[in-house]
Amino acid sequence: MKRVDDFRLRFGKNEYVPIMVGGMGVDISTSELALEAARLGGIGHISDAMVEDVSDRRFDTSFVKEKTKLYKFNINNMDKAVVQFDLGRLAEAQRLHVGKTMEAKKGPGLIFVNCMEKLTMNGPKETLRVRLNAALDAGVDGITLSAGLHFGSFALMADHPRFRDAKLGIIVSSVRALQIFLRKNAKLDRLPDYVIVEGPLAGGHLGFGMDWAEYDLHTIVAEILAYLKAENLDIPLIAAGGIFTGSDAVSFLEAGCAGVQVATRFTIAKECGLPDKVKQEYIKATEDDIIVNGISPTGYPMRMLKSTPAIGSGIRPGCESYGYLLDATGNCAYINAYNREVSAHPDEKNIVVMDKTCLCTHMRNFNCWTCGHYTYRLKDTTHKMPSGEYQLLSAEHVFKDYQFSVNNEIALPEKEF
Ligand SMILES: Cc1cc2nc3c(=O)[nH]c(=O)nc-3n(C[C@H](O)[C@H](O)[C@H](O)COP(=O)(O)O)c2cc1C
């Protein structure tokens, strides 16, 4: 019976434990979590979602305060076109976040940064260009392009001196998305170093419609493997979404994947950025508590706990401070939904918005409890304490459980009570 440790993920001459811990914004996959994966010989992701806010919290900068001050005059104006990111400040925040993580790296693994295209930031192309190039400047080992088709993203960093040496990959959920990505980038003569195939059971935004349940990760992986073989393309595939045990991971490695990307099991690690109270909500969740809905203004379905405080919250759009989801014209689907409710209930103090949410504000405050489908199994991975709360895990424990377990077993941690 094989275990994950019998396999290695190869990039050129280097070999890694074939476990990637996926990017989880906003600062849910912290530097500390990513650094543990790298120390143990795998690959850890940080995320650059709302990087100015993350930098303020971690490094005592005041990017958000300065931006809010600059655009204070616009807070009651629902046209947000003027609320632009200062590209120099954005680069500074990205270099701090990525650079400090890289400085702290120990061990044989790698640190990648997850960059979502859907963070359009009132200037999709220019802000993404800055984020990608600043991450390369700061020495990141690799960049995972996510939440979008990224037709032009390689071109945005093609002039960077590290464009051909950093590891660059993309998350796709269908063979078609990969085909188009490869076709759009063919003229750059630079293939992705890896492709993450994310199925419908993942956490965060899904690359599927509301018919997500009709898709299956093994089938999509097989289609993409067959396509790569037919095209004679040697690109490592990483399977992601619903891989809960070491044995689940082995089934993908035996099918021809070079590695797996996992996240949900790490949401209850001590190193994970979610507040401890929220971690307990994740552990206690039952299958019925987990839903996929359309409240994200990105237009992608998102999986989350039913009890997420973001659902129904009608707070004023926080774009002057954040504004990460403003599109190229300065609009966000939440602004429209909020305005509609305000006009329908002019005398109401407590506005309720059910169909969309102010994702920036709620992710920033850990009030949007996005999670993977198997979150309801987390209680099987740890001990219930006499208080009724559950013991949190170390990232090392979870990582090694994936690496060494067999027979679909899940190792429980040493009791800390
Ligand atoms: C709490 C949480 C937040 C996530 N946030 C992001 C994100 O910001 N960007 C992204 O590309 N993927 C995100 N994901 C997806 C993961 O990186 C990963 O690919 C996926 O969840 C793996 O499946 P698993 O959670 O079943 O192991 C998130 C997942 C979780 C659980």
Q: What are the per-10-residue average pLDDT scores of the chain (417 residues)? A: 97 97 98 98 98 97 98 95 98 98 98 98 98 99 98 98 98 98 96 98 98 98 98 98 98 98 99 98 98 98 98 97 97 97 96 98 98 98 98 98 97 97
CA 241 / ligand 1 centre spacing (Å): 8
Indicate which residue's Cα is closest to atom 20 of ligand 1.
202
Of all protein residues, the one whose alpha carbon is nearest to atom 27 of ligand 1 is 262
pLDDT score at 406: 97
Check if the beta carbon of residue 124 is closer than 8 Å to that of residue 328: yes
Measured from the Cα of 264, ligand 1's closest atom is: 25
**d(CA 72, ligand 1 centre) in Å:** 33
Which pLDDT score, from 0 to 100, does residue 111 have? Answer: 99
| 343 Cα to the center of ligand 1, angstroms | 36
Please identify which residue in the block is written with the tokens 């690690």. Answer: 269
Gap from CA of 369 to ligand 1 centroid (Å): 12
* Distance in angstroms (rounded) separating the CA atoms of residues 158 and 61: 30
Atom 5 in ligand 1: residue holding the nearest Cα: 24
For residue 264, the model assigns a pLDDT of: 99
Ligand 1 neighbours, Cβ below 6 Å, are 22-25, 28, 47, 49, 114, 116, 146-147, 171, 198, 201-204, 240-243, 261-264, 267, 370-372, 374
Q: How far apart are CA 245 and CA 332, in angstroms?
A: 38
Residue-level pLDDT at 26 = 97
Q: How many residues does the chain have?
A: 417
Cα distances (angstroms) measured from residue 342 to each of 276, 294, 327, 334, 360: 34, 20, 22, 12, 20
- The CATH number given to 4-79+86-273+382-404 is 3.20.20.70
Mutate to test the pocket of ligand 1, among 264, 271, 298, 364 (most ligand atoms within 8 A of CB): 264
Q: Whose CA is nearest to atom 17 of ligand 1?
A: 22
Residue 91 CA to residue 99 CA, distance in Å, equals: 11
CB 143 within 8 A of CB 102: no
